[in-house]
Amino acid sequence: MIVVDRLTKTYGAKKAVDDLSFTVAPGRVTGFLGPNGSGKSTTMRCMLGLDAADAGSVTFDGKRYSDLDQPLTHVGSLLDAGDAHKGRSARNHLRWIAMTHGFPESRVDEVLHQVGMSEVAKTKVGKFSLGMRQRLGLAVALLGNPHTIILDEPANGLDPEGIRWTRDVMRSLADSGRSVLVSSHQLVELSLVADDLVVIGQGKLISAGPVSDFMTQHAKSWVRVVSPQFDALAELVVAHGGRVERTQDGGDFHAVTAIQVGEIAAANNIVLHELSSQTGSLEEAFLDATDASVEFRGESSAAQNGGGQ
Amino acid sequence: MLSVLRSELFKMTTTRATKVILGFAVVLPIVIYVLTLIFAFDGGVMESPAVVNIASVAPLVALLLGVVGVMCATQEYSQGTIRITLVATPHRVRVYVAKVLTTLTIAVVATAVLLVFTMLSSVVILNARDVQFELIGNDGRVVISFFFLTAVLSVFGLSLGLIFKSGPGAISAVLLWPTIAEGMVFGLLSAVTGDNYFRWAPIQNGFQLVSEYIMEDQNSWTVSALILCGFVAVFVFAGASLFTKRDA
Ligand SMILES: Nc1ncnc2c1ncn2[C@@H]1O[C@H](COP(=O)(O)OP(=O)(O)O)[C@@H](O)[C@H]1O
Ligand SMILES: [Mg+2]
């Protein structure tokens, strides 16, 4: 169980993490979401005692990271796949880390096998693709067989197969009772594996809880209708306080439920070819929730805003 | 603590850059020394005691071991491994002490290897010319000073590495200060004040430790050692406090 309590970290005048609190429960994958620059990596560095927080605390089963005895046996982390000497072999990279805890060399070979890198154990890290380095980083995180795992954007640079493999590893870690915290700026990546979501924007908490709660709070829902008498129905729905959006063969009604629309249609003998409840994707919900806190806007939206010159 | 030390030593022996510099620090002086020894026989007579010649390569060895010290710190920052190091051992004082001990161990072992090789080759070459190799006068002190100098300068390098975090910056400092900057600074001081400030140049005092004889206008061995250590201590303190406190 990880408890982050009112964590705050500033760099100069920049508040990277702002009074952030959340928990990560065992047996579950907790997705840590936020746009680029929202403070995910900073939070993780503060959790591991790499950066000193200005205020607040992080505890792992009640203990601060720096107070853990043999920390790698409690918490495994992957912050950046690039954190390895390019001139060392994969095996030697794991060996120097294992030495700090007195792990036997057989443990190094075990994790290499676990991440499917036994064949390239003697290859230098500099020769690896980003995907291979992510795997090696995961091997480092698993080295001490920890009950808590912290991964910062582990899917970055992976091909779809690699992403799926990472997802399966996280799932099985959580299923064996471990606490897994995994960050991403892309909800799609996590929506398939996360049980809980912690969403942040500009260092502040936006939402925390089960994925389904996040959906009902932030995802849009509407009613899709296809009908030969659509215009007549639309007039009636608007009279009941709904909003209409025309599509090619019918339209969407907002601010009303499917039940309401169905009853209005029945009461007025209107023929319906389709009546269905629709919900926006998780991605849309995420973009919606973090919209106000996106620090860097993409090229396209910048062009839209600044167009016309 | 021992496990952290083992890990640090292992890190140093598994990168090519450290091996290359270490090779230079040991092999280059041996080659220079052997060549000097061969040509030192001018008309069948040795100009100076063998150990004096061995000691003449000490500044070069000490500076190169200073570079090895730098790399014990900067390789971690340039390759990002510092984060893993500190995650594995959050107790930073332990990591710091392990790095100091690693640097010292490498310096002492490298110096020992160098001295054994140079002395053995002395014995071989001198015997071939029917000359007896023996330790005379202050030779014993020179040998001890050799170890002392390389040990102190390697920790000097480590400290600069921890302060700068960047290899090029710290290596420049460790090489340029003793060879060029120190002379300029103390030369300027001497010119401005009219006094001989060279006497207080810290690294020069360090280099003097390995000389067989101390001139009248030079500091005694103890004073020179204190000046060197005092100077290096400032950087050791700065390096240690920065390393244990700042964000990684
Ligand atoms: N070491 C640092 N020094 C100064 N600013 C930093 C540092 N690390 C992060 N920041 C700033 O803090 C904010 C959060 O960054 P980060 O935690 O990397 O975000 P994320 O991981 O969510 O993309 C950004 O604005 C970033 O520029
Ligand atoms: Mg990040």
- Compute, in angstroms, the gap from residue A289 CA to the centroid of ligand 1: 20
Q: What percent of chain A has pLDDT over 90?
A: 70
The answer to whether A100 contacts B81, with C-beta atoms less than 8 Å apart, is no
Q: What is the pLDDT of residues A203-217, one digit of tens each?
A: 999 989 998 887 777
- Residue A239 inside a domain? The answer is yes
ipTM of the complex: 0.91
Q: Are residues A56 and A16 in the same domain?
A: yes
**Structure confidence at residue B198 (pLDDT):** 82
- Residue A119 inside a domain? The answer is yes
- Residue A117 inside a domain? The answer is yes
Q: Are residues A78 and A97 in the same domain?
A: yes
Distance from CA of A277 to the nearest CA of B (A): 49
Residue with tokens 């080295």: A143
**Structure confidence at residue B215 (pLDDT):** 79
**Structure confidence at residue B214 (pLDDT):** 78
**Domain of A246, in residue numbers:** 221-279
Q: Are residues A93 and A113 in the same domain?
A: yes
Q: Are residues A189 and A97 in the same domain?
A: yes
We report the CATH number of the domain holding residue A74 as 3.40.50.300
Q: Are residues A236 and A127 in the same domain?
A: no
**Structure confidence at residue A213 (pLDDT):** 83
Q: What is the pLDDT of residues B149-161, one digit of tens each?
A: 999 999 999 999 9
The answer to whether residue B128 scores a pLDDT higher than 50 is: yes
Q: Which of A139, A100, A104 is nearest to A121 (CA)?
A: A139
The answer to whether residue A300 scores a pLDDT higher than 50 is: no
- Residue A58 inside a domain? The answer is yes
Strand partners, A17: A9
**CB neighbours of residue A239 within 10 Å:** 9
Contacts of residue A170, Cβ cutoff 8 Å, sequence gap at least 6: A29, A149, A151, A154, A180, A182, A193
Q: What is the pLDDT of residues A234-259, one digit of tens each?
A: 999 999 888 898 888 788 998 888 89
Strand partners, A89: A124
d(CA A95, CA A108): 6
Partner A, chain B 76-135, Cβ-Cβ below 8 Å: 79-81, 83-91
In order, the DSSP letters of chain A are -EEEEEEEEEETTEEEEEEEEEEE-TTSEEEEE--TTSSHHHHHHHHTTSS--SEEEEEETTB-GGG-SSGGGTEEEES-TT-S-TTSBHHHHHHHHHHHHT--HHHHHHHHHHTT-GGGTTSBGGGS-HHHHHHHHHHHHHTT--SEEEEESTTTT--HHHHHHHHHHHHHHHHTT-EEEEEES-HHHHHTT-SEEEEEETTEEEEEEEHHHHHHHH--EEEEEE-TTHHHHHHHHHHTT-EEEE-SSSEEEESS-HHHHHHHHHHTT---SEEEEEE--HHHHHHHHHGGG-SS--HHHHHHHH---
- Compute, in angstroms, the gap from residue A279 CA to the centroid of ligand 2: 29
Q: What is the pLDDT of residues A41-50, one digit of tens each?
A: 999 999 999 9
pLDDT confidence bin for B47, thresholds 50/70/90: low
* Domain chopping of chain B, boundaries: 2-245
Give the domain-ending residue among A191, A210, A229: A210
The answer to whether residue A302 scores a pLDDT higher than 60 is: no
Give the domain-ending residue among A159, A178, A210: A210
Q: Are residues A159 and A186 in the same domain?
A: yes
Tally of domains in chain A: 2
Q: Are residues A112 and A204 in the same domain?
A: yes
Q: Are residues A246 and A151 in the same domain?
A: no
The answer to whether residue A116 scores a pLDDT higher than 80 is: yes
The answer to whether residue B50 scores a pLDDT higher than 80 is: no
Q: What percent of chain B has pLDDT over 70?
A: 93
The answer to whether residue B44 scores a pLDDT higher than 80 is: no
Q: Which chain A residues touch B17 with a CB distance below 8 Å? A: 87
Question: A49 CB near a chain B CB, below 8 Å?
Answer: yes
**Structure confidence at residue A221 (pLDDT):** 79
Q: Are residues A6 and A110 in the same domain?
A: yes
- Residue A292 inside a domain? The answer is no
**Structure confidence at residue B218 (pLDDT):** 83
Contacts of residue A124, Cβ cutoff 8 Å, sequence gap at least 6: A86, A87, A88, A89
Q: Are residues A25 and A150 in the same domain?
A: yes
Q: Which of A36, A39, A42 is nearest to A297 (CA)?
A: A36
Which ligand lies nearest to the CA atom of residue A78 in the structure? 2
**Structure confidence at residue A282 (pLDDT):** 63
Q: Are residues A201 and A80 in the same domain?
A: yes
pLDDT confidence bin for A88, thresholds 50/70/90: very high
pTM of the model: 0.86
- Residue A189 inside a domain? The answer is yes
Q: What is the pLDDT of residues B4-35, one digit of tens each?
A: 999 999 999 999 999 999 999 999 888 888 88
Q: Are residues A6 and A136 in the same domain?
A: yes
Q: Is the CB of A201 under 6 A from ligand 1?
A: no
- Residue A302 inside a domain? The answer is no
d(CA A147, CA A153): 19
More confident residue, B125 or A206: A206
d(CA B176, CA A208): 55
More confident residue, B135 or A163: A163
The answer to whether A51 contacts B247, with C-beta atoms less than 8 Å apart, is yes
Which candidate in B84, B97, B247 is best for mutational testing of the A interface (most A CBs within 10 A)? B84
Mean pLDDT of A275-284: 76
Which ligand lies nearest to the CA atom of residue A12 in the structure? 1
- Residue A291 inside a domain? The answer is no
